[in-house]
Chain A
Amino acid sequence: MPWIVQNLWLVPALPILAAGVSALVKQRNRVFAASLAIGSMAISFLLSVWAFAHVLRLGSYGAITRQAVNFGWFQFGSEWLKLGWVLDPLAALMLLMVAFVGLLIFIYSIGYMAHDENFTRFFCFLALFAGAMLGVVIANSLLLLFMCWEIVGLTSYLLIGFWYANPRAAAAAKKAFIVTRIGDLAFFLGMVWLYAQAGTLLFYDGGTGCLEHSALTRLVAQTTVIGMVASTGIALLIFCGAAGKSGQVPLHVWLPDAMEGPTPVSALIHAATMVAAGVFLIARIYPLMSAHVEMAIPFTTTTALQVVTWVGAITAVFGAMIAVAHYDIKRILAYSTISQLGYMMMGLGVGGVAVGMFHLITHAFFKSLLFLGAGSVIHGCSGEQDIRRMGGLGKLMPITFATYAVGMLALCGFPLFFSGFWSKDAILHAAHSWSVSQSPFYMGAFGALLTAFYMTRQVYYVFGGKSRLAATSPGLHHASTPPHESAAVMTIPLVILAAFAMLLGLVGTPAWPWLQSFLDSQRTVVNFAAFSNAALLSVMVSASLLVFLGLGLGWWFYGRTPIVDADAPDALGQLQPRIFAVLGHSFYVDEMYGATILRLNAWWSRACDWIDRWVWNGAVQTVSYLVLGFAWLDYFLDTQVLNAGFDEGCQGVSRGGQILALLQGGRTQSYLRMIGLALIALVVFLLWGARG
């Protein structure tokens, strides 16, 4: 087995080690902590490149590209619970993306966090996150994946709440952890169920892993009480976990709030990697998701995949609609992320691993580009996040503007030159030919229109017109410094990401579907004739038209007349104030949870506490009062009956004693008197007797 497979564990271990070391050093050692984190990440990146090249080489001469290393963790009875790591095209691709984007964001963070007093701690958390995320990617065991997954969730919590002095950040962190934890509960149950059924949690184990043929056949054959196939039940439970992490409706509520964290965190965790982990998980367990009775026929959809598709489609539209009506630059991007994650899920559901993963990879680049661009904007505007108060930044921050525009066009899916076009088109094409229903296709198309619209709106607000920064908020601290372009340490990552956001689409065009073949371990052939496919072409053209329509509408509402007044109502808001308000409140999902689940839970806890206080404790109290009552009764008996008798007896004795004591006074006179009396008595007695 080659060295890189044997030692693949180094990829996640190095950043974790770096995190451990920097946790021990003092806060002052800023340079040390940052260079440690970046150095470890750079080595991990190089190892990832090596691993990727290895898989590529294996694939190029048709060898088996999946290699796994397993080891026993603990044993009970004759069973061993095993963990392990796997290197296959999916893992290699994801490793490369996570390590590369991670590295760029680490570098960017030096600039962004330069003035923060907890700089060292930030890099410690960031490195821990990156290590755990890389662990998720290479895990060959659902259990190891889950463990890394939880650490990812923990670091996400720590980083969202990094500025914990800000109460909103603290609340957002708590919300993120608990909401994802609810999804993870289902994941955990699914895992336990899988273990009980398959007897292993390893994905690939020389034919006995839970994603391999024999285990899947067994899982498909078993039916649960409610008539659902075991594999479906397990797959759906695990999907709940994925939905929690990947912000799918209805567990999406934490993601917009998570934007309270530092912007590099939003870019790394809440755009490129962690939120994509849910999509990756579904891609990883795709054999389980798609397992059905007739294993021979490929591409027949299963219940689990249908659920994934529908949830994804709904999320895609839902997120895009809400993004239209928000004003916070990062929140808009967050809802956009939710929407795009929905696309990825939909892609997995309708088209398989390659389609979903393609969008995941392209999205990771252009969305982290957008977030870092937004960070640059926020940094330049000294902390302002409200797009109504920006404006005119196009001239002041040219590099940021140019790269942001690239990211925006990639996200919208601007035809041909931007990666988002190709990956989104692949999803729409797959949805169009989906056998179950056409609705996801229409929902996806509508989402694409909305995406183009809200991104145009945002760009016009931020970069177009004149600066509204100074005029509006005299009370804020940033009035003193005019907006400025960010330092090179921040703009260079932007440029690199922008290049990828444009070029990356070329690896998955219909003419040269390299990514698809790579993931399926097949050879790629260039075939320009693929474009002549009528269905494909019509989808492509209609999607492009929708994008142009969205861009045009955006211009009509926001670009035609420059926005001058920061307090002026939104152009769309004037047209449809009611709908706009509903969207602006994100469909009131948070409020609904507050009114139902949270209240129910609080009530239930209080009920339990009440029971404990009054019923159980009351029972104990009653018993103790009863015992006390008996005690009092006994006491009464003791004092009034038993003791009284005893006392009486004692008093009787002592009184008798006192009388007798008089006889022994020790005084001669009384003795004489007594003798005299006795004599008299004796005389009387004798006389009495003599007479008788």
Chain B
Amino acid sequence: MLAWTIYISFLGALVLLLLPKASVASARILALLTAVAGFAIALTAFAQHRTGEMLTVVRAPWIPSLGIEYHLAADGISLTLLLLTGIIAISGILFSWNIEHRAQEFFSFYLLLIGAVYGVFLSYDLFLLFVFYEIVIIPKYFLIAIWGSTRREYGAMKLALYSFIGSAMVLIGLIAAYVRAGAKSMALGDLAQYPFPLHFQMWAFPLVFVGFAILAGLWPFHTWAPTGHVAAPTAASMLLAGVVMKLGAYGCLRVAMTLFPLGLLTPWGLHVLGLGSWRDVFALLAVIGIVYGAMVALVQKDFKFVIGYSSVSHMGFVLLGLMTLNQIGLSGAVLQMFSHGILAGLLFAVVGRMVYDRTHTRDLATLGPMNLNKAIPFAAVTFVVAGMASMGLPGFSGFVAELMVTIGVWRAFPVLTVCVGIGIVVGVAYIWRAMQKAFFAEAGVESVTPKPPLPPITFPERLGAVLLIGTSVLIGLYPQLLLNVIVPALNSPLFDGLRKGSWQ
């Protein structure tokens, strides 16, 4: 049943292309229905999921001579991210309700992207995973290059190149592992059980990890993210920040860390700048990402760049959580993937759809005098709420996730906790600054009333905002809902290799 999330999205994409050109409204509704159906399937599976099991969805031989199978399976972690994908897909369509230009193609690419993302999260066979991972790149490129804004060709190309470089690194690592393990199977479980020699893991781990982490915005490979987010149309920004960055983090956890645990854990035997293992290196890079992303967000002039860099900062929490290698840190990292997906989606929706599509500017200095809190109060309120959630105010999902990651970090790397704290405080500051500058007129600046008056916030926008805020509050108040499936998944045999190392 779960496999239909993929098929139904691809099918929807196909049907959309067959629609006549004039039927924009039906295209939207069809896209929305498809996304809702995908989400409903994911939700049903989530509700039926028995904790801790790896549910095989489909398993059929694909290229028997190479041992490659069409093998889809889901555990708690993938289910969490499938849910996220469903929610973001629905709200993304709601926030694209105003797309008139080649709407059928837009939604078709959009659904293609969604289907491929579902595919990545469901793939158990690594070759299949790689295929879906590649499919993701294509619609992403076109969505930005055709419907984007500010330097869209540049942004689209940069994004595509970074993605391809990342996937090339992953491919090399995977093929090496496949050959090394006797070239019999590409299934994740089989490869994870194979004891790769230490020296092999020592180079394969960073290769595959960085390959995936590029997409997760690991500093200093993050520069695709802000420009890509800014160039993309609203729905694509939401998808990019909401789920595509999670693909990278998911790959880091599910592939790189399970396949090559020794490469992660084993000390090099020498210290370079106080760093003794790949774990130290990536933890440090993640912390730098947190502080650095927040710092850069603090001085941006473009509203969307603020959110773009905030994504880099928040994804730092995910990667840092992965590097803690303890229960609470890892669960927190997965929870942060979900939380950041929801909140980044919401922030991009406010900036891209509610503000930019109305005012046609994202320059904070120009937005201020418009006094948007009077003109479009709903947008201001949504941004305030989203900003509060993003800066980790209790009651929202971000607080629980960041708390868990921070406790995990305290146990693993006490010194880094202080840097994380600095990141959190700067996080407050940049959200604050953006909020003040974008929605509230500064002192001594003459208010300009935009002409013609800005169109009011539409119903789909309200619906999308309520959906995302509601999800964040739900998880913030009752995180056990997701942790019930995440934690047993982290304790499954798949992560045995890590657990034998220094799991706490």
Instruction: Show the binding face of A for B, using Cβ within 8 Å.
Output: 72-77, 79, 143, 146-148, 150-151, 154, 164, 167-168, 170-171, 174, 177-178, 181-182, 185, 188-189, 192-193, 195-196, 601-602, 604-606, 608-609, 612, 616-617, 619-620
Residue contact A182 to B425, C-beta cutoff 8 Å? yes
Residue contact A151 to B393, C-beta cutoff 8 Å? yes
B401-424 interface code vs A (CB 8 A; 1 in, 0 out):
001101100110000011001101
Residue contact B295 to A604, C-beta cutoff 8 Å? yes
Starting from the known contacts A77-B487, A170-B436, A617-B223, 8 additional A-B residue pairs (CB-CB under 8 Å) come to: A143-B403, A150-B394, A154-B388, A177-B432, A188-B406, A193-B410, A605-B298, A612-B223
Residue contact B299 to A181, C-beta cutoff 8 Å? no
Interface segment out of the listed B8-16, B113-121, B258-266, B439-447: B439-447
Residue contact B295 to A608, C-beta cutoff 8 Å? yes
Interface of A (DSSP majority class): helix
Q: Check if B250 is an interface residue, CB within 8 A of chain A.
A: no
Nearest residue (CB) in B for A606 is B299
Residue contact A616 to B417, C-beta cutoff 8 Å? no
Chain B contributes a number of interface residues (CB within 8 A of A) equal to: 47
The answer to whether residues A74 and B480 also contact, given A174-B432, A608-B296 and a CB cut-off of 8 A, is yes
Q: Check if B193 is an interface residue, CB within 8 A of chain A.
A: no
Nearest chain A CB to B153 CB, angstrom units: 13
Q: List 23 A-B contacts (CB under 8 A).
A: A72-B480, A75-B480, A76-B328, A76-B404, A76-B487, A79-B327, A143-B403, A147-B394, A150-B394, A154-B393, A167-B443, A177-B432, A178-B428, A188-B421, A188-B424, A189-B421, A605-B295, A606-B299, A608-B292, A608-B295, A608-B299, A609-B295, A619-B220
Q: Check if B492 is an interface residue, CB within 8 A of chain A.
A: no
Closest 7 CB pairs of A and B: A167-B443, A147-B394, A77-B327, A608-B295, A605-B298, A74-B480, A74-B479
How far is it, in angstroms, between the C-alpha of A168 and the C-alpha of B429 when the chains are bound? 18
Instruction: Show the binding face of B for A, using Cβ within 8 Å.
Output: 158, 220, 223, 292, 295-296, 298-300, 327-328, 331, 373, 388, 393-395, 399-400, 403-404, 406-407, 410-411, 417-418, 421-422, 424-426, 428-429, 432, 436, 440, 442-444, 478-480, 483-484, 487, 491
Which residues of B are found within 8 Å of A143, using beta-carbon distances? 403
Residue contact A192 to B410, C-beta cutoff 8 Å? yes
Residue contact B406 to A192, C-beta cutoff 8 Å? yes
How far is it, in angstroms, between the C-alpha of A151 and the C-alpha of B389 when the chains are bound? 12
Nearest residue (CB) in B for A143 is B403
How far is it, in angstroms, between the C-alpha of A620 and the C-alpha of B161 when the chains are bound? 11
How far is it, in angstroms, between the C-alpha of A602 and the C-alpha of B296 when the chains are bound? 10
Nearest chain A CB to B132 CB, angstrom units: 27
Residue contact B399 to A616, C-beta cutoff 8 Å? no
Nearest chain A CB to B229 CB, angstrom units: 14
Which residues of B are found within 8 Å of A168, using beta-carbon distances? 443
Which residues of A are found within 8 Å of B298, using beta-carbon distances? 605
The answer to whether residues A605 and B480 also contact, given A150-B393, A167-B443 and a CB cut-off of 8 A, is no
Interface of B (DSSP majority class): helix
Of the candidates A147, A601, A605, which one forms a contact with B395 in the assembled complex, judged by CB atoms under 8 Å apart? A147
Of the candidates B296, B399, B410, B444, which one forms a contact with A196 in the assembled complex, judged by CB atoms under 8 Å apart? B410
The answer to whether residues A73 and B479 also contact, given A177-B428, A185-B425, A604-B295 and a CB cut-off of 8 A, is yes
How far is it, in angstroms, between the C-alpha of A263 and the C-alpha of B496 when the chains are bound? 61
Of the candidates B296, B394, B483, which one forms a contact with A75 in the assembled complex, judged by CB atoms under 8 Å apart? B483
Nearest chain A CB to B186 CB, angstrom units: 31
Nearest chain A CB to B71 CB, angstrom units: 29
How far is it, in angstroms, between the C-alpha of A164 and the C-alpha of B371 when the chains are bound? 11
Which residues of A are found within 8 Å of B425, using beta-carbon distances? 178, 181-182, 185
The answer to whether residues A605 and B411 also contact, given A77-B487, A79-B327 and a CB cut-off of 8 A, is no
Of the candidates A74, A77, A146, which one forms a contact with B400 in the assembled complex, judged by CB atoms under 8 Å apart? A74
Which residues of A are found within 8 Å of B480, using beta-carbon distances? 72-75
How far is it, in angstroms, between the C-alpha of A619 and the C-alpha of B221 when the chains are bound? 11
Nearest chain A CB to B371 CB, angstrom units: 9
The answer to whether residues A609 and B432 also contact, given A151-B394, A154-B393, A192-B407 and a CB cut-off of 8 A, is no
Which residues of A are found within 8 Å of B484, using beta-carbon distances? 75
Nearest residue (CB) in A for B331 is A76
Nearest chain A CB to B435 CB, angstrom units: 9
Which residues of A are found within 8 Å of B407, using beta-carbon distances? 192, 195-196
Interface centre among A76, A146, A178, A617 (most CB of B within 10 A): A76
How far is it, in angstroms, between the C-alpha of A33 and the C-alpha of B352 when the chains are bound? 34
How far is it, in angstroms, between the C-alpha of A192 and the C-alpha of B328 when the chains are bound? 12
Residue contact A609 to B428, C-beta cutoff 8 Å? no
Nearest residue (CB) in A for B481 is A74
Of the candidates A74, A193, A612, A620, which one forms a contact with B296 in the assembled complex, judged by CB atoms under 8 Å apart? A612
The answer to whether residues A77 and B328 also contact, given A605-B295, A608-B295 and a CB cut-off of 8 A, is yes
Which residues of B are found within 8 Å of A620, using beta-carbon distances? 158, 223
How far is it, in angstroms, between the C-alpha of A193 and the C-alpha of B418 when the chains are bound? 11
How far is it, in angstroms, between the C-alpha of A192 and the C-alpha of B418 when the chains are bound? 11
Nearest chain A CB to B402 CB, angstrom units: 9
Which residues of A are found within 8 Å of B428, using beta-carbon distances? 177-178, 181
How far is it, in angstroms, between the C-alpha of A181 and the C-alpha of B421 when the chains are bound? 11
Nearest chain B CB to A674 CB, angstrom units: 60
Of the candidates A75, A164, A167, A605, which one forms a contact with B299 in the assembled complex, judged by CB atoms under 8 Å apart? A605
The answer to whether residues A196 and B411 also contact, given A150-B393, A178-B429 and a CB cut-off of 8 A, is yes
The answer to whether residues A76 and B483 also contact, given A177-B428, A177-B432 and a CB cut-off of 8 A, is yes
Residue contact A609 to B328, C-beta cutoff 8 Å? no
Which residues of A are found within 8 Å of B400, using beta-carbon distances? 74
How far is it, in angstroms, between the C-alpha of A604 and the C-alpha of B292 when the chains are bound? 10
How far is it, in angstroms, between the C-alpha of A182 and the C-alpha of B300 when the chains are bound? 22
Nearest chain A CB to B225 CB, angstrom units: 11
How far is it, in angstroms, between the C-alpha of A143 and the C-alpha of B394 when the chains are bound? 10
Which residues of B are found within 8 Å of A188, using beta-carbon distances? 406, 421, 424
Nearest chain A CB to B414 CB, angstrom units: 8
Which residues of A are found within 8 Å of B478, using beta-carbon distances? 74
How far is it, in angstroms, between the C-alpha of A75 and the C-alpha of B484 when the chains are bound? 8
How far is it, in angstroms, between the C-alpha of A146 and the C-alpha of B428 when the chains are bound? 16
Nearest residue (CB) in B for A193 is B410
How far is it, in angstroms, between the C-alpha of A601 and the C-alpha of B422 when the chains are bound? 11
Nearest residue (CB) in A for B482 is A74
Nearest chain A CB to B426 CB, angstrom units: 8
Residue contact A174 to B295, C-beta cutoff 8 Å? no
How far is it, in angstroms, between the C-alpha of A195 and the C-alpha of B406 when the chains are bound? 11
Nearest residue (CB) in B for A621 is B223
Which residues of A are found within 8 Å of B429, using beta-carbon distances? 178, 601
Residue contact B417 to A189, C-beta cutoff 8 Å? yes
Nearest residue (CB) in A for B373 is A164
Nearest chain A CB to B212 CB, angstrom units: 19
Residue contact B299 to A609, C-beta cutoff 8 Å? yes
Residue contact A77 to B444, C-beta cutoff 8 Å? no
How far is it, in angstroms, between the C-alpha of A192 and the C-alpha of B410 when the chains are bound? 7
Which residues of B are found within 8 Å of A178, using beta-carbon distances? 425, 428-429, 432
Which residues of B are found within 8 Å of A602, using beta-carbon distances? 299
Nearest chain B CB to A640 CB, angstrom units: 26
Residue contact B483 to A74, C-beta cutoff 8 Å? yes
The answer to whether residues A79 and B394 also contact, given A170-B436, A192-B406, A606-B299 and a CB cut-off of 8 A, is no
The answer to whether residues A167 and B424 also contact, given A73-B479, A75-B480, A606-B299 and a CB cut-off of 8 A, is no
Residue contact B399 to A147, C-beta cutoff 8 Å? yes
The answer to whether residues A170 and B440 also contact, given A77-B327, A188-B406 and a CB cut-off of 8 A, is yes
Residue contact B394 to A609, C-beta cutoff 8 Å? no
Residue contact B442 to A167, C-beta cutoff 8 Å? yes
Nearest residue (CB) in A for B439 is A164
Nearest chain B CB to A212 CB, angstrom units: 21
Of the candidates A72, A77, A185, A193, which one forms a contact with B424 in the assembled complex, judged by CB atoms under 8 Å apart? A185
Which residues of A are found within 8 Å of B328, using beta-carbon distances? 76-77, 79
The answer to whether residues A75 and B487 also contact, given A177-B432, A178-B429, A195-B407 and a CB cut-off of 8 A, is yes
Residue contact A76 to B327, C-beta cutoff 8 Å? yes
Residue contact A616 to B487, C-beta cutoff 8 Å? no
Nearest chain B CB to A209 CB, angstrom units: 18
Nearest chain A CB to B103 CB, angstrom units: 33
Which residues of A are found within 8 Å of B299, using beta-carbon distances? 602, 605-606, 608-609
